[in-house]
């Protein structure tokens, strides 16, 4: 398997523009996560899905952020309109497994999408 695939790897845009980040999880994984990495807050969980259904979006910072998972092999994270403070590295991760104690729910991360909003 090629792992978790994210695109684009780098995105530079101007304030006010719409940004769409894409993720292809590992085939067979039924959990998908979006994280954001910043120096101040480390890795923050934005939202996660199970079987394409959003389970917890409490980490989504504002209404400007939205995420979808139309099928098991694709997810998007959209920021509209983007602001300079959204500049960060956004990671997608996927996982499968029965639960925390089983050891099977290790997250596999993609390489990330570095977003710069000018």
Partner 1 sequence: DQQVKQNSPSLSVQEGRISILNCDYTNSMFDYFLWYKKYPAEGPTFLISISSIKDKNEDGRFTVFLNKSAKHLSLHIVPSQPGDSAVYFCAASSGTYKYIFGTGTRLKVLA
Positions in the binding site for partner 1 (CB under 8 A): 4, 31, 33, 35, 39-45, 48, 50, 55-56, 91, 93, 95, 99-101, 103, 105-112
The nearest distance, CB 8 to partner 1, in angstroms, is 14
Work out whether strand 113-117 and strand 53-56 pair parallel, antiparallel, or are unpaired. Answer: unpaired
Cβ closer to partner 1: 82 or 95?
A: 95
Cβ closer to partner 1: 22 or 81?
A: 22
Smallest Cα–Cα separation from 79: which of 93, 91, 62? 62
Q: CB 52: neighbour CB atoms within 10 A?
A: 15
Sign of CA dihedral 70, 89, 26, 28: negative
Cα separation, 31 vs 97, in Å, equals 9
Cβ closer to partner 1: 52 or 81?
A: 52
The nearest distance, CB 7 to partner 1, in angstroms, is 13
Per the structure block, which two tokens stand in for 70?
């139309």
The nearest distance, CB 93 to partner 1, in angstroms, is 8
């Amino acid at each position: 398997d090629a792992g978790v695939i994210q695109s684009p790897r780098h995105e530079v845009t101007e304030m006010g523009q719409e940004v769409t980040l894409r993720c292809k999880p590992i085939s067979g994984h039924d959990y998908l996560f979006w994280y954001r990495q910043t120096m101040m807050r480390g890795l923050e969980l934005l939202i996660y899905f199970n079987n394409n259904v959003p389970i917890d979006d409490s980490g989504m910072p504002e209404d400007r952020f939205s995420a979808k998972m139309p099928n098991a092999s694709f997810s998007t994270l959209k920021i509209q309109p983007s602001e300079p403070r959204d500049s960060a590295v956004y990671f997608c991760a996927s996982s499968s497994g029965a639960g925390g104690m089983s050891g099977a729910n290790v997250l596999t991360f993609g390489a990330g999408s570095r977003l710069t909003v000018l």
